[in-house]
Chains A and B, each alone.
Chain A
Amino acid sequence: MSAICEVPGGNIAVAETPMLRWVLAYADDALILGHRLSEWCSRAPSMEEDMALANLGLDLLGQARFLYSHAATLENAAQPALERSEDDYAYRRDAPQFRNALLVEQPNGDFAATMVRHMLYASFADLYWRASLAVSDPAIAAFAARSEKEIAYHERHAADWVIRLGDGTAESRRRAQSALDGLLAFADELFETEADQLPLMAAGAIIDPARLRDAYRHRIEQICARATLSLAWPRWHQSGGRQGRHGEHLGHLLAELQFLPRAYPGASW
């Protein structure tokens, strides 16, 4: 492996194996979406919902920490001198190194946009972690077991709200429909298969998300029907996040998230 020069406190250079890319993709999904939810703190539509959004955020941040620690274990096993920790991945990579899907970096918008975004993510993640319960990699199976329980609740909570907003008042319906129309193009990226991960999928170490797409569409259609929202799957979809090609929003999110470790390189907190 070529020795990559890292500046202390600067960006890390992750030696990405197919497995590491997979771990970071799902860790980044959880971190970015968890961060977005934490932005709601003290701004929710009701105090009860402030509690709920923080709980959703804490679940996701916990999932991100688990997967980043797993990534650190994988990288340190290959190169112990790196001494990677969970925070290296969250705080010392720039936007092009992030592997999250574009959906999760979309701004919170109004409460309808946040709940539609969450429904689109959680319906996927629930299916994905449930399918991952039986993978051959024990660390991933253990993660799936824990996450599936958390995410099942997320999906229910998001669906409860999408249904109430869709079938609530004329204004809430307009906002929910607009959120759905705007965000639907980000759903399909969640089901892209990364070619270099195919051998891992064939070996049963991880699950190919593509095989869950039909079940996912069925779920979203059911929720939208109950919400009396009209659903038209777009013929194209936004893509690029898994390869590090993000939208304009992620850079700003990271500038905020990473500010302290970037401003005080080498300090511990």
Chain B
Amino acid sequence: MYAQALDQTDTRPAQGDDPARLAAFQARIDAEQKIEPNHWMPEAYRRTLIRQIAQHAHSEIIGMQPEGNWITRAPSLRRKVALLAKVQDECGHGLYLYAAAETLGVSRAALVDQLLAGTAKYSSIFNYPTLSWADIGAIGWLVDGAAIMNQIPLCRCSYGPYARAMIRVCKEESFHQRQGYEIICSLAGGTPEQRAMAQDALNRWWWPCLMMFGPPDTESQHSDQSTRWKIKRFSNDELRQTFIDATVPQAHRLGLTLPDPDLHLDQATGHWRYGAIDWAEFRAVLRGEGPCNRDRLARRNAAHAEGEWVREAASAYAAKQNQRKAA
């Protein structure tokens, strides 16, 4: 669900990239032609994509945990199946994305090892806890809403396998945000306790969601190259503003208050102007100092370690079957 705008462009000098090939490559991109796995590409383009797609895949897989936290406590059977299907979709999206990254010549096992070792980044939003059922609504409504803003432009990304994966992801995710907003609607229209639950969730998730779009354009140094390569189509601040403009009326419609005293409608432009984002918190969470970083990685490591004997067994069985066939 979530491509976070981290600083992703690889700017290491491309050793030995032939200027003529580079020019031809850029011309293809400028002509909106897709780059496919076995095409020539600059090493920096390859490295940038591997890093971005891997971060995106890791985010999907780690993103299963905060919502998965409520599957066994979903308050109705209808909510339970919807949530399980949604979290399952996230797993599927992680798999589509790892497969897209693998077309660039890196193995999934290597990428997963980076995640497990804590050396890979994933979206900061998943390092926040889900404390009440309303958080499930808030994640669907706000986190998926923010993710969609990032992901729709990626469907036109210059790298074919990534673009195709994103088309499938966006198509499948169309129910996710509606699922979340429906939960929030029920709570906002429910008992006073439920309404308070919804407001509390909005208070806790609003600012981390705005951080999902990445640092402000003034600090984001590497966007230019990604834009030239048509990996990135809109700036962090542009996407953030689009999200805020779409979301504020949805909150007001439910009588919920956004936790930003500076939020106001700029009549001249029609945009909602917002207060200062705490970028120190954002950087701390990315560094591993968020409330749940350790838990999230520990869970993934535990699942991987506990699954090892199963994977070994399946591989051993496959090898035996191949031997039996050959015999």
Interface residues of A (CB under 8 A from B): 31, 35, 38-39, 41-51, 54-55, 57-58, 61-62, 64-65, 68, 86-87, 90-91, 110-111, 163-165, 167-169, 171-172, 175, 256-257, 259-261, 264, 266-269
Interface of B is mostly: helix
In the assembly, what is the distance between CA of A9 and CA of B74, in Å? Answer: 16
Asked if B283 CB lies within 8 Å of chain A CBs, one says no
Label chain A's interface by main secondary structure.
helix
Would you mind naming 18 contact pairs between A and B with Cβ atoms under 8 Å apart? A41-B64, A41-B88, A43-B306, A45-B307, A46-B310, A51-B88, A51-B92, A55-B88, A58-B88, A61-B77, A68-B77, A169-B312, A256-B73, A264-B194, A267-B75, A267-B190, A267-B191, A269-B76
A229 to chain B, nearest CB (A): 13
Q: Are B307 and A64 in contact (CB under 8 A)?
A: no
Q: Which residues of A contact B307 (CB under 8 A)?
A: 44-46, 49, 111
CB-defined contacts of B133 to chain A, threshold 8 Å: 260, 269
Nearest-CB distance from B66 to chain A (Å)?
A: 10
Instruction: Find B71's partner among A38, A46, A91 (CB 8 Å cutoff).
Output: A38
CB closest chain-B residue, reference A31: B77
Determine how close the nearest CB of chain A comes to the CB of B309; give it in whole angstroms: 5
Residue of A nearest to B91 (CB): A50
Cα–Cα distance between A241 and B74 once the two chains are bound (Å): 24
| Chain B residue at minimum C-beta to C-beta distance from A262 | B75
Name the CB-closest residue of B to A69.
Answer: B77
Contacting A at CB under 8 A, from B193-222, are: 193-194
- Which residue of A has the minimal Cβ distance to B57? A47
- For the complex, give the distance between the alpha carbons of A269 and B302 in Å: 33
Q: Is the CB of B277 closer than 8 A to any CB of chain A?
A: no
- A110 CA to B307 CA in the complex, in Å? 9
B61 is an interface residue with CB less than 8 A from chain A? yes
15 new A-B contacts at CB < 8 Å, known A41-B88, A58-B85, A269-B133: A38-B72, A41-B84, A41-B87, A42-B61, A42-B64, A44-B307, A47-B95, A51-B88, A51-B95, A54-B88, A163-B317, A167-B317, A169-B309, A267-B191, A269-B75
Residues of B within 8 A of A266 (CB): 191
B interface residues with partner A (beta carbon < 8 Å): 61, 64-65, 68, 71-81, 84-85, 87-88, 91-92, 94-95, 98, 133, 183, 186-187, 190-191, 193-194, 299, 302-303, 306-314, 316-317, 320
